[in-house]
Amino acid sequence: MQLHFSSGTASLVGLSVALIVVIWLAQLIGRGLSVRLKFRAMRSRGLPVPEPHSFLYGHIPLLKTLKEGLPNDAHDTYVHRKLTMNWPKYFPNQKSCPPVIYLDLWPLASQPFIYVTSPEACFQVTQQTAQPRHPMFSWALFPVTGGKDLISMDMPTHRIWRSRLNPGFSPKNLLSQTPILIEEVGTFVQQLKEKAGTDGNFGDLCHLYDRTVALTFDIIMRVSLDLQVREQTRGPTPILKALRALIRHVKGPNIWSELERWTPSYRQDVALNSKILRDSLLPQIKSRLQPDASSEKTVIDLAVKEYKNEYGNENRQPSPDFIDTVISQLKLFILAGHDTTAQAICWVLYEITKSPEALGQIRAEHDEVLGPNVKLAAQILSADPHKLNSLRYTTAVIKESLRLHPIASTHRRGSRGFSFACDGTTYPTDGAIIWTSPTAIHLRADLWPRVMEFLPERFIVAEGHPLHPVKNAWRPFELGTTKCIGEELAMIEMKLVLALTMRELDFHFDWEGWNALQGRTTPPDSVGGEHIYRVGSGIGSVKDRLPTRIKLR
């Protein structure tokens, strides 16, 4: 069958399309104009709008200037760092670093950003009067979780689910799971030993980041669902492959990502990988619902228990919606819980290896708390997991590494009903995306003496000591009602890795060897003189997946 259009119909269609384009353009220009005028008005009221602000391009040229001197693959965290560390240049009229910074990135971002750089302002938005997460998060996560997860939920539903899920992540429950964690960290250490050289030499290059990703993935699957995936020994496993395929679609909303979501290839990819994940997780979830499930300690077991308690009925079977939400939450745990901790482990091993003094102290602490026989450390910790709480210096090392290398942050919704109030000034937030920035707060020289030095002592000295952290200034896991649910788990994982590697292995982070192996002839990229830096976007990763050589001690 052939369709015939008359020339009149064709010109009508053309006219309609042209009209839609004109309306769309007019709206776009109108929106841009109103954003720019708003910023002009804010600047004239003395609000912290960094210089220069161009009427045509907003802060996009400033962003470009801040990126100068940074490698192309450097993470945005370094741009933020430059803005706040060099604040006098960008805020010539301010006497100190402003507590919040207004950024106009339209049309790259549809809404202005408010970048929060002070502990007091962060406290206000996340703890004192906690504001809801910005919806861009739920939009970005949708391909992975389908929207039924802690990050995407509205605040009342979040409260219900958070109290169901908290028991599984409580310090008491996690300590009781320590033997399982030790088993997984044991596999990790064994694999590193296999990479070590012979006769006291460093071995071949490996990518430590790959090993830590596999470790943290195995751990989150066991802790949340008692599912032994064995990514470390049998990977890449279908669950991680499917999750990674979905993570590729986690993007902030913009014209390109919005268009992508309409394409058949996006829909097919999401449907296929969601099915793989559901088929892998559902049987295990169902098995945990049986009264004779082997243990009752996983996050999901305890969530089901809470659910039954809510109804005062031990025999109540979870509804299909409950099960769908559990699958969604599990996907969030895997997503939020593996890359973050994997990177954090890399950074702490990197920092401690660079500091012979800290290395000496951490080894001495392990001798003292875990006994001089390194071969018995895992056994001793399995028998008495509370010993982890005695590793004060080790904990301080991890905290200091997270200070220098914070990995995540939070985005909250600005509104007419919420303004920041700092030092007698009110900072409105209506129509903006509020973005807390541990990167900025952790590297403010006025808050942290000897700011760029790796000084674990900060987290040991008593209150009143000049090195003691200012209240609310350390926030790698954020603070408040939606703070990271996995903080304790991540801390235990990191302590175990340090406790079981530091006295047995030496690490050499060999970017030079890796460059040579790649046949790179140009000088290697660096940030602040370091060739190992954070790359990518979102959570990102470690440059070249942290090329490492290992030696047995």
Residues at the contact surface with ligand HEM, assessed by CB under 6 A = 126, 150-151, 162, 220, 332-333, 336-337, 340-341, 344, 407-410, 476-478, 480, 482-486, 489-490
Please check whether residue 420 is in contact with residue 429, taking contact to mean a CB–CB distance below 8 angstroms: yes
Considering beta carbons, is residue 483 or 551 the nearer one to ligand HEM? 483
Q: Checking DSSP bridges between strand 547-552 and strand 206-207, what pairing results, if any?
A: antiparallel
Q: Checking DSSP bridges between strand 411-413 and strand 433-436, what pairing results, if any?
A: antiparallel
Q: Which residues pair with 534 in a beta bridge?
A: 542
Considering beta carbons, is residue 48 or 438 the nearer one to ligand HEM? 438
Considering beta carbons, is residue 203 or 406 the nearer one to ligand HEM? 406
Burial 77-98 (b: 16+ CB within 10 A, else e): bbbbbbbbbebeebbeeeeebb
Q: 345: how many CB neighbours lie within 10 A of its CB?
A: 28
Considering beta carbons, is residue 336 or 396 the nearer one to ligand HEM? 336
CA dihedral (444, 450, 453, 456) positive or negative: negative
Contacts of 411 (CB under 8 A, 6+ apart): 133, 134, 136, 137, 433, 434, 435
**In whole angstroms, how close is the CB of 340 to ligand HEM at the nearest point?**
4
Considering beta carbons, is residue 38 or 412 the nearer one to ligand HEM? 412
Contacts of 517 (CB under 8 A, 6+ apart): 205
Q: Which residues pair with 550 in a beta bridge?
A: 507
Closest CA to 304 of 330, 277, 337: 330
| Ramachandran class of 104: left when φ > 0, alpha when ψ lies in -120 to 50, beta otherwise | beta
**In whole angstroms, how close is the CB of 14 to ligand HEM at the nearest point?**
48
Considering beta carbons, is residue 227 or 344 the nearer one to ligand HEM? 344
Q: What DSSP string describes 226-265?
A: -----HHHHPSPHHHHHHHHHHTT-----HHHHHHTTSHH
Considering beta carbons, is residue 84 or 126 the nearer one to ligand HEM? 126
CA distance 50 to 84: 10
**In whole angstroms, how close is the CB of 352 to ligand HEM at the nearest point?**
16
**In whole angstroms, how close is the CB of 454 to ligand HEM at the nearest point?**
17
Considering beta carbons, is residue 163 or 228 the nearer one to ligand HEM? 163
CA distance 518 to 532: 16
**In whole angstroms, how close is the CB of 483 to ligand HEM at the nearest point?**
5
Please check whether residue 495 is in contact with residue 394, taking contact to mean a CB–CB distance below 8 angstroms: yes
Considering beta carbons, is residue 62 or 240 the nearer one to ligand HEM? 240
Comparing every residue's Cβ against ligand HEM, the nearest one is 486
**In whole angstroms, how close is the CB of 438 to ligand HEM at the nearest point?**
7
Phi, psi of 277 (to 5 degrees): -65, -45
**In whole angstroms, how close is the CB of 49 to ligand HEM at the nearest point?**
26
**In whole angstroms, how close is the CB of 45 to ligand HEM at the nearest point?**
30
**In whole angstroms, how close is the CB of 391 to ligand HEM at the nearest point?**
17
For the CA atoms of 22, 28, 32, 38, what is the dihedral angle to 10 degrees? Answer: 100
Considering beta carbons, is residue 249 or 338 the nearer one to ligand HEM? 338
CA distance 215 to 230: 9
**In whole angstroms, how close is the CB of 314 to ligand HEM at the nearest point?**
27
